[in-house]
Structure 1
């Protein structure tokens, strides 16, 4: 099969970046030059994703009663709205990336002119959705972005994942891409983590399923240039 790579730029949005982001990741803006270099390469498809939450989203601490409503600390159990026997635990966050707000916008320094498609995720208020593909519920899935079908539609073989945050939406998007059958690469310099100390565990999860973390100078990145 011929090599057809896609670049997925995950959630490079104002609310995930200093100085004013509601859920700012340290160094979040610093990865944009690396991402723009990748966007200038001849990927078959370049996709940017956006967290795009309604104000009543289940992950917002503000939508839960005290005392179990502390951002970054409280854990709640979410039931699958289509199957209450299936549950997921999720951490609560400050309100972020609310539809129609400045915080939901992609960074102005990101070269969006090179992006082919924008995928909005997290739009269903009832479920958390770290992965750009779908929420974590299986029986049945509640919210599917259509990203897998989009990639298959143009014959993508390899997926390169960059953006924010390395230990949440990057991790879940990369694991999901591999599960969907795409050879998946995470370009390390073009990501930042909420909790950098968690990345050793993230890399162990990657190793179990075949996701590979690479650098900008790695041969598989240079391979995109050489198409």
Structure 2
């Protein structure tokens, strides 16, 4: 019998060519290796998992997060940062890491990887489309006064009656983390499945997990109760 207090959704974050070896411009080590686990989740029936949502970075070429777009002085990806300002409120700013150009709209690097079973997806959300702001989270940017680049994901989840949001994909310490934290902030039970994600900086993953848990996110194992609960709905 279905549990009315448990209506999960799956968020598959940024499983795109540019985030995956061997040729991605911002490849996350072992990023492709998590696909079989994600496909196992995608194969669950809609009665068990009604929403299966993929996200894609979908950047314009002049995106502020690309180191190549900073010239005075020139900046380097991974090591340098930039300050992002709310376009509607100059007093609200934050600092973000700079990256190689990646997931540029309508380029092969922005495509979801072919191994991913996209036929099972119910929705795809494109994020990071505003060249002026970074958007790790599938929900919205960190800028709140006023809110910038809200994807509409919160509304989609709430209209479906979602209670639990399971987050997988890339990268664990950036877009997965931010998406899960915002899911928790919006009142959903946020669950990150550790084996179904990989980090840009693996050495910092243990500390990142602790920070996520402090933000209200559950970081769980594939064999744990939270994941088994998904599959019990298919029994």
Range into which the TM-score falls when normalised by the shorter chain? over 0.9
2: CA distance, partners of 1:144 / 1:216: 31
Counterpart in the other structure of 2:227: 221
Aligned partner (choices 10, 24, 44) of residue 21 of structure 1: 24
> Do 2:213 and 2:219's aligned partners in 1 also have CA atoms closer than 8 Å?
no
TM-score, normalisation: structure 2 = 0.94
Q: CA deviation at 1:172?
A: 0.4
2:117 matches 1:111:
yes
Give the SS at the match of 1:194: coil
Q: Distance in 2 between matches of 1:36 and 1:91?
A: 31
Alignment size in residue pairs: 227
Are the aligned partners of 1:68 and 1:74 in contact in 2 as well (CA < 8 Å)?
Answer: no
Instruction: Spell out, residue by residue over 1:22-73, the C-alpha distance to the aligned partner (whole angstroms, 9 max, x if none).
Output: 0000000000001001111231211000000001100011111153410111
The within-5 A match list for 1:58-97 is 58-97=64-103
Shift of 1:2: 2.2
Question: Root-mean-square deviation (CA), in Å?
Answer: 1.0
* Structure 1 counterpart of 2:175, from 147, 169, 175: 169
C-alpha displacement of 1:204: 1.6
Unpaired runs of at least 5, structure 2: none
Deviates more, 1:217-226 or 1:189-198: 217-226
The offset of 1:221, in angstroms, is 1.1
Q: Equivalent residue for 1:54?
A: 60
Distance 1:19 1:190 in 2: 19
TM-score calculated relative to the size of structure 1: 0.97
CA–CA distance in structure 1, aligned partners of residues 108 and 7 of structure 2: 34
